[in-house]
Amino acid sequence: MTGGVALSEVRGVRELLHTLVRDFDARVCDGDLAKRFVDEFSRVRRLAEAGITLALSQVDGTGAWAHGGEGARSTAEWFAKHAGLPLGEAIRATDTATKVAALPATEAALRSGRLSAQQTHQIADAAAEDPAAEAELVDLAAHASFGQLRDQARRRKAAAQGDADRAARQRQLRGARHWTDDDGMRNHGIKLTPDQAAKFEPVWDRFTNDEFTKARQEGRRESNEAYAADALVAMAQAILGDGHLRGGSPAHGLILVDATALRRGHTNAGETCEVAGIGPIDVAAAKELLGDAIVDILVKDGVDVRTVAHAGRSANRRQKAALLAEWECEIRGCGVQRGLEVDHIDPWADTHCTAIDSLGPKCRWHHHLKTAKGWRDGPRGDDGKRDLVPPGRGP
Ligand SMILES: [Zn+2]
C-alpha cells in the first residue's frame, strides 16, 4: 500500500529537516541566498502537502478518523485538530484529497512537487465537475499566476454545471458562520444563493440608505460598510419590536457581569463582563443592554452560581444561565461555545433532582453521541472537563 515507502523513512526526513531548521540562521544570508532558501523550503512544503493529500484521502476512505475515541465528527475535524488548522481549511484539504484520488494527472503533478495545496484545490474542484479540464489546468498551473488558474478553473466549473445543477449545488453551499476576531469584533460570513440574495439585499440596501440619511442629518460621514453594518442591527430591531418574534417565541442573548464591575462602570483585572459565547463587552454597553428585552443579564454578586439547584425536570433559566457561564462544551478538547445543550449527567429517573453539578453543558454533537450513539460520560476532572467514552470501552 505504501509503494515501498516506510513511515520511518518519512520520519527520518522530518528529523533531518528539524535539525536543519533549528540551526538555520537566516540573518547571515545575503538577500539572494535568503530567496533561494525560501524557494527550497517552498518545494519541501509542496511535497509535504502532497504527502498529506495522498494519506488524508486514505484516512477518509477507511473511516480511520473515527478511531481512537477522540469524538471527531469528520475527517476534516480530526485533521484540523492534528494539524492545528482552522476547520474551514481542513474541510478544503479533505475535499481536495478525496477528489485527487480520481484525477491521475493532478496526482502525478502533485507527486512531482509541482503543485501547491491551493493550486491542487482549484484544479481538483473544477476537474471533479469536468474531467476534460484537468490537463489544461495542470498545464496552466505550471506557468500562469494563481489568480489566472483560479479564474480559469471557475470558468470551466461553471461551464460544466448545467443551470439546474448549479442551482442545486449553490443551495448546498449556502450557510452562515460567526466568529470573534482578535479585535473582539463579531464577524459574520454569509453565503446566500443568488435568489436568496435577491430577496435579502434590497431590504438590506433600504436600511443602509436609511442609516446613510440618518448619518447625514447628524453630520456624520462614515463608510458605506459601516452604514451596512448598522443597517443589519436596525433590521433585527425592526423585526423584534418588543422582543418577541412573530409567533411569540422569545429571542435570547446572555451577558455575564460581575456586580462590582457593574457598579464601578468598568472591569478590573479578573472581573467578567462578557456576552456569552461571543466575548468581552464594555460595562457601559452592557448597562445599555440591561433595558433590552432580548438580553438576559446574569450578575455575579460573590454568590457561587453553581450552588443554584432546582427540583424540576429541566434546568431552569437561572441554571441554564449558570451553565452558559461556563462558556463551552464540557468535553475535553472540544471548545465549542455556541448552541450548547444542557445534559443531565445522572439520568433524571435515578435522582429525581436536578442540581447544577449533575448538569453538563455539551455541544450538539457530543450530546448526540451520548444520547443516541451509546457514548458515556467519563468522570469530571480537576479542569472541570470530562472525556466521552466510546461504546464498548472501559470507564
Ligand atoms: Zn463538544
- pLDDT at residue 285, rounded to an integer: 80
Of the two residues 180 and 109, the one the predictor is more confident about is 109
Of the two residues 342 and 132, the one the predictor is more confident about is 132
> Is 84 inside any structural domain?
yes
Same domain for 272 and 367? no
Same domain for 34 and 134? yes
Between the CA of 341 and the centroid of ligand 1 the distance, in Å, is 10
> Is 318 inside any structural domain?
no
Same domain for 277 and 187? no
Same domain for 14 and 156? yes
Percent of the chain clearing pLDDT 70 (strictly above): 79
Same domain for 64 and 114? yes
**Mean pLDDT (whole number) for 149-154:** 91
Between the CA of 367 and the centroid of ligand 1 the distance, in Å, is 7
Same domain for 46 and 106? yes
Model confidence over 321-367: pLDDT tens digits? 555 555 578 888 888 776 667 666 655 455 444 455 566 778 888 88
Same domain for 152 and 187? no
Total of domains in the chain: 4
Between the CA of 42 and the centroid of ligand 1 the distance, in Å, is 36
Between the CA of 347 and the centroid of ligand 1 the distance, in Å, is 19
Q: Give me the phi and psi of 344, to 5 degrees please.
A: -85, 110
Between the CA of 127 and the centroid of ligand 1 the distance, in Å, is 36
Between the CA of 326 and the centroid of ligand 1 the distance, in Å, is 13
**Mean pLDDT (whole number) for 76-105:** 93
> Is 115 inside any structural domain?
yes
Between the CA of 332 and the centroid of ligand 1 the distance, in Å, is 8
Same domain for 24 and 136? yes
Place of cell 445543550: 341
> Is 310 inside any structural domain?
no
Same domain for 89 and 12? yes
Beta bridge partners of 298: 256
Q: Which of 199, 214, 240 marks a domain boundary?
A: 240
Model confidence over 5-57: pLDDT tens digits? 899 999 999 999 999 999 999 999 999 999 999 999 999 999 999 999 999 99
Same domain for 48 and 79? yes
Between the CA of 304 and the centroid of ligand 1 the distance, in Å, is 24
Is 242's pLDDT higher than 60? Answer: no
Kindly report which listed range (161-165, 216-220, 240-244) carries the lowest average pLDDT score: 240-244
The DSSP 8-state label assigned to residue 326 in this structure reads T
Collect all residues with Cβ–Cβ distance below 8 Å to 179 and sequence separation of at least 6: 186, 187, 189
Burial class (CB in 10 A: 0-12, 13-18, 19+), 307: exposed
> Is 316 inside any structural domain?
no
Same domain for 119 and 234? no
Rounded to 10 degrees, the C-alpha dihedral 233/236/240/244 comes to -110
Is 1's pLDDT higher than 70? Answer: no
- pLDDT at residue 297, rounded to an integer: 65
State which residues form the domain around 192: 176-240
Kindly report which listed range (87-101, 254-268, 350-364) carries the lowest average pLDDT score: 350-364
Between the CA of 290 and the centroid of ligand 1 the distance, in Å, is 30
> Is 87 inside any structural domain?
yes
Of the two residues 72 and 256, the one the predictor is more confident about is 72
Between the CA of 388 and the centroid of ligand 1 the distance, in Å, is 9
Question: Which candidate, 93, 147, 158, places its Cα nearest to that of 120?
Answer: 93
Average pLDDT of the chain is 82
Same domain for 147 and 64? yes
Between the CA of 336 and the centroid of ligand 1 the distance, in Å, is 6
What are 329's three cell numbers?
A: 462544551
Between the CA of 69 and the centroid of ligand 1 the distance, in Å, is 13
Beta bridge partners of 362: 341
**Mean pLDDT (whole number) for 125-138:** 93
